[in-house]
Structure 1
Amino acid sequence: MYPSCSLIVSTYNWPEALDLCLTSLLALRPMPNEIIIADDGSKEETRLLINRYQAISPIPIKHIWHPDDGFRKTIILNAAIQEAQGEYIIQIDGDIIVHNAFVKDHLAAAKRGQFIRGSRAMIDKSTSSLIQQNKRITFNFLSKGILHRFNAVRMPFLSGLIKTNPLSPADVKGCNMAFWKSDFILVNGYNNDLTGWGHEDIELAARFVNNGIKKRHLKLAAICYHIHHELNARTWEKQNKNVYEEVLALGIKRCINGYSTQTTV
């Protein structure tokens, strides 16, 4: 019996990519119980796109938005997860296209006392540009334009054979991860003091590990594809990395300014 599930999608001002992402989400079998879009201040075009999908979706799609005041991903993710009704949270970014068994694979791997670090295959620059025109969402490990092809191989019956360090948060990616909402609340969610791009995912994962919640690196399952884009500005990356390293060094289990101090947007 699978737990109830909320799928969180973070986005910011890239409706063309979000369009492909949402198209792939509506093809999921099974679907999550709800989709929640954590919108870090996108403009009207994104809102209109989401409205269109809300009108045709067989499950609720919630749009959680706050005004654009710089990169505040942690804050909007905390706000979105506050609205989540599911016991289990699956998190992706709005520039991700998912395999139609993505949720099925995540839920099959869900286990108390652990969180999931998923993988992603990459779509190269020229193919990414093309699919925004032709709206293609179906790929496999042999598709033209796919990078890191091993991450596009789906063999869930072999997934359990792959073992990595369950106590290392260093490689966790927020574009494909999953956790129990109760564990997220235990560590007080994302650290709202992390502003600007970088390391909010591994800092959260470090607090999971410090609380005895082990990482499972899910391979050969929960396949997704990342649409190419230029790198974000990394002004605050070093500062955020220092916070992460302090969490590791001191064994910090809970951030101060996080989920519990979040005000509803």
Structure 2
Amino acid sequence: MSHDTPPASLIIPTYNRADLLRRNLAQLAGQSLDTDRFEVIVADDGSSDDTEAAVGEFRDRLRLKYHRQEDRGNRVGTARNAGARLATAPLLIFLDTGTFVGRDFVDAHLRAHREVPGRWAIVGYTYGYDPEGVDAGLMRQLDESTPDELVERAGATLRDVRHAHLAAHEFDLSRLLVPYQNFFTLNCSVAAADFAAVGGFDEDFVGWGFEDLELAYRLLRDGVGLRMSRTAWAIESPHPRDPARFDELLRNMDRFFAKHPSPPLEVGWVLLMRYRDDYWTWEDELRQVLEQTAAAQGRDVTGEIAGVLAGLPTGGSLAVLGAGDQVPPGLPAAVLYDLDVNAVARLAAAEPGRHDVRHGIGLRTTLEDGAVDDVIVTSRLDGLWKRWGADLLAEARRIGKRVHVTATAAR
């Protein structure tokens, strides 16, 4: 095989799924794109089956590299990073073991990056993908048909779990406030330089979930856009998932928010951690939060804050949820939250260094339990009260010993 640098490196993390891996490698060996044009890196998260032997069976058909790390639990982000370090191509394509591909898969990812100038990470459509359900008949169909045949015959019925959510926005991720919600590493691609620039996957994420969304969050912050490609498709083979993995998902959502506290992640955190099954309402709920608070952006709540302060003992610590762009003169040093980023900037500039000013709603904060003596929840949060009042109060009670609600909608 050629020793020239290939245009694409495929990275497949795996753990004790040798038979599925063999099918992956066979499909990659049959790509329409010459196999000299891409390399395949199997990143083994400590398998105890014959995974390494499975890789060896394809060394004469693919440009293959194999890396095995010690089995210390699910460390898929660490495995993917190890694979990326071995990659030589300018484009990294991530594919899960058991995510089957058609003949044009690699070429479709390459074309998706050429089609639109700029820095992009591509989210590939994945037929049959649904973490919450197992289609018992899908594996039989995969056994009886090639991926291309199955998609041609039954693709309309094998929808990606993201389909309805994305169809509502014409599959245009740039229209979304939370585009990273749709970035799943079972089928995606990103320029190697962009991946390296943000430091790859955060290896603090262990177990199932959110290491991919967190990567996409940092890519977006670094100026890399997200695009959906329906031609760079794959088919997810069905397999049961351990219900205990949901606890891993919750822990990783907690990590995600702790690393990137922001209003969108506050909404996502509450939906998943408190309501448990509202993941796909995240986008719409965030839009409603922004709409419901828009009317209060010019509201001055200095009088409300001053009124509460007049009845408090001196020397206590304070947090204000919905502080606005100004506070009463002489307000003791406090932690001040507001959703309006412009109000936050004006408030921080008014008395530089005096207050801890943060951009946030107040649904979830990074303050410790009982961090302050008193929490004031102002009328700037009135618009949220019907939907989120209980959550605002729960957070205020978690971080403060005493809670004072001046929001008129709460009365």
The TM-score by the shorter chain falls in which range?
Answer: 0.7 to 0.9
Deviations 1:35-73 (A, max 9, x none): 00111111241111111111x31x311111112111011
Question: 1:196-211 to 2 correspondence within 5 Å?
Answer: 196-211=207-222
Report what 2:47 is aligned to. Answer: 42
What is the alpha-carbon distance in structure 1 between the residues aligned to residue 226 and residue 141 of structure 2? 36
Shift of 1:115: 0.8
2:253 alignment partner AA: K
1:204 partner SS: helix
| Conserved? CA contact 1:199–1:240, under 8 Å | yes
Q: Is the 8 A contact 2:125 2:160 kept in 1?
A: no
The equivalent of 2:128 in structure 1 is 122
Q: Work out which structure has the larger RCO, using CA pairs closer than 8 Å and 6 or more positions apart in sequence.
A: 1
CA distance in 2, matches of 1:128, 1:145: 17
Q: 2:174 aligns with which of 155, 165, 171?
A: 165
Please state which structure has a larger fraction of its residues in helix.
Answer: 2
For residue 176 of structure 1, the aligned residue among 167, 183, 187 is: 187
Aligned to 2:363: none
SS in 1 for 2:151: coil
Normalised TM-score (structure 1)? 0.80
State the 1:127 CA deviation.
3.4
**Corresponding letter in the other structure for 2:198:** V
Against the structure 1 CA distance between its residues 192 and 151, is the aligned structure 2 distance closer, same or farther, given a 3 Å change threshold?
Answer: closer
With 222-231 and 166-175 compared, the bigger mean Cα shift is at 166-175
Q: Tell me the secondary structure at the aligned position of residue 224 of structure 1.
A: strand
How far off its partner does 1:89 sit? 0.4
Distance 2:259 2:110 in 1: 29
**Equivalents in 1 of 2:228, 2:253: separation in Å?**
21
TM-score, normalised on structure 2?
0.53
Question: Could you tell me how far 1:135 is from its partner in structure 2?
Answer: 8.3
Structure 1 match to 2:348 = none
| RMSD after superposition | 2.8
| Structure-2 change in CA distance of 1:40 and 1:145 (3 Å) | farther
Q: Any stretches of 5+ residues in structure 1 without a counterpart?
A: 153-160, 252-265
What is aligned with 2:365? none
Which has the larger Rg?
2
Secondary structure at 1:41 match in 2? coil
Who is 2:15 aligned against?
Answer: 12
Figure out how many residues of one structure are paired with residues of the other and give that number. 238
Q: Where do 5+ consecutive residues of structure 2 fail to align?
A: 1-5, 130-134, 164-169, 264-411
Show the counterpart of 1:249: 261
Match of 1:227 among 227, 233, 237: 237
Paired AA for residue 255 in structure 2: V
Query: Do the aligned partners of 1:207 and 1:247 also contact (CA within 8 Å) in 2?
Result: no
